[in-house]
């Protein structure tokens, strides 16, 4: 099995060059300078740069505001037709050519990921992304899926459900297994086993040394927020929980150093498993030195 498209992280794609940086002051200055130059060129000595109350300045500002809105609308139109930045019914129109309608209640983010996988599904479920596409289509509650060839002709499809219960109900797994049992949903030579994710438990314990001055409670709150944000975004099948990434999340303002005592090493996760944080303990070292 090959995976042609799924490697791209849509959240990391830079904004297109077609998007324009908007500035009201830049537009106001350009329009004002152009108007003054046109008047002077026609023999009308006119300079209102310092007269905020001049009617011409008010007119320029009104025009600049309208042009700013127009350019913002153009920016939105560009975003609307690009998969990483599209939203709402715009996204539904992007999905239509891929024969991928939105599931009932499906969020824009989940729908974007399914559309991104859709080209792999054109080969039934041969490519890895094809199996993932159908798993997330048949089970719209799924937040991630993976497909691994365990032996030639045998494929294990793992499905991840949202926290706090990452393992799908047996009935849902059976529904997906029945789908993959049909001849038109996979290559004829594949035998597909559908499972929930393997769970790799991990506890996070860290002691931080602070610079003099910061309030400990404030620093710990920032660390907790940043760490939880990172863990939520990283909760994917096959995502290796790296110590360096945990330390980076805890290295907030006011923190001099972080001693991460658990996990003692990077937590390697196979493609069919997900990490499960059993506890978080963030402490502050008693001796605060500069």
- Per-domain boundaries in the chain: 17-80, 88-195, 198-284
List strands edge to edge, sheet with 273-284. 255-262, 198-210, 273-284
For residue 1, name the pLDDT band (cuts at 50, 70, 90). very low
CB atoms within 10 A of CB 33: 12
Supply the DSSP string of 219-246, one letter for each residue.
HHHHHHHHHHHHHHHH--TT--B-HHHH
pLDDT for residue 4 is more than 90? no
Q: Which of 7-11, 118-122, 154-158, 181-185 has the highest mean pLDDT?
A: 154-158
Residue-level pLDDT at 3:
45
Supply the pLDDT for residue 126.
63
Res. 6: pLDDT tops 50: no
Q: Looking at the predicted structure, is the pLDDT value of residue 196 above 90?
A: yes
Distance (Å, whole) CA 256 – CA 150: 46
Q: How many other β-carbons are positioned within 10 Å of the β-carbon of residue 29?
A: 14
- Give 104's DSSP letter: T
Whether the per-residue pLDDT at 183 is higher than 90: the answer is: no
Residue that the structure tokens 């969020």 belong to: 107
Mean pLDDT computed over every residue of the chain: 89
Mode of pairing for the β-strands spanning 154-160 and 144-151:
antiparallel
Contact, 168 vs 197, CB < 8 A?
no
> Fold for domain 88-195?
GMP Synthetase; Chain A, domain 3 (3.30.300)
Residue 19 in this model has a pLDDT that exceeds 90: yes
- How many residues are recorded in the chain? 290
Q: Which two tokens stand for residue 247?
A: 């330390």
Residue 38, by phi and psi: left (phi above 0), alpha (psi -120 to 50) or beta?
A: alpha
């Amino acid at each position: 099995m090959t995976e042609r498209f799924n490697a791209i992280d849509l959240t990391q794609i830079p904004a297109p060059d077609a998007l324009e940086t908007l500035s009201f002051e830049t537009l106001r200055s350009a329009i004002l300078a152009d108007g003054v130059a046109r008047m002077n060129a026609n023999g009308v000595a006119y300079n209102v740069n310092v007269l905020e109350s001049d009617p011409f300045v008010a007119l320029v500002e009104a025009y600049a505001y309208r042009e700013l809105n127009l350019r913002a609308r153009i920016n939105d139109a560009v975003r609307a037709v690009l998969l990483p930045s599209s939203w709402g019914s715009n996204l539904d129109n992007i999905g239509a050519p891929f024969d991928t309608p939105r599931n009932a209640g499906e969020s824009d983010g989940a729908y974007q990921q399914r559309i991104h996988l859709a080209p792999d599904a054109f080969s039934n479920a041969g490519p890895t992304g094809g199996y993932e596409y159908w798993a997330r289509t048949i089970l719209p509650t799924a937040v991630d899926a993976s497909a691994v060839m365990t032996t030639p002709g045998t494929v294990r499809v793992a499905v991840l459900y949202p926290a706090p219960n990452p393992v799908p109900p047996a009935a849902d797994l059976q529904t997906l297994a029945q789908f993959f049992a049909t001849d038109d949903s996979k290559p004829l030579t594949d035998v597909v086993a559908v499972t929930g994710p393997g769970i790799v438990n991990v506890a996070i314990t860290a002691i931080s040394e602070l610079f003099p001055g910061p309030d400990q409670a404030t620093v710990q709150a920032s660390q907790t927020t940043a760490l939880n944000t990172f863990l939520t975004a990283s909760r994917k099948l096959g995502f290796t929980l790296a110590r360096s990434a945990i330390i980076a999340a805890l290295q907030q303002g006011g923190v001099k150093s972080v001693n991460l005592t658990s996990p003692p090493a990077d937590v390697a996760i196979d493609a069919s498993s997900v990490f499960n944080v059993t506890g978080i303990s963030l402490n502050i070292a008693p001796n605060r030195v500069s």
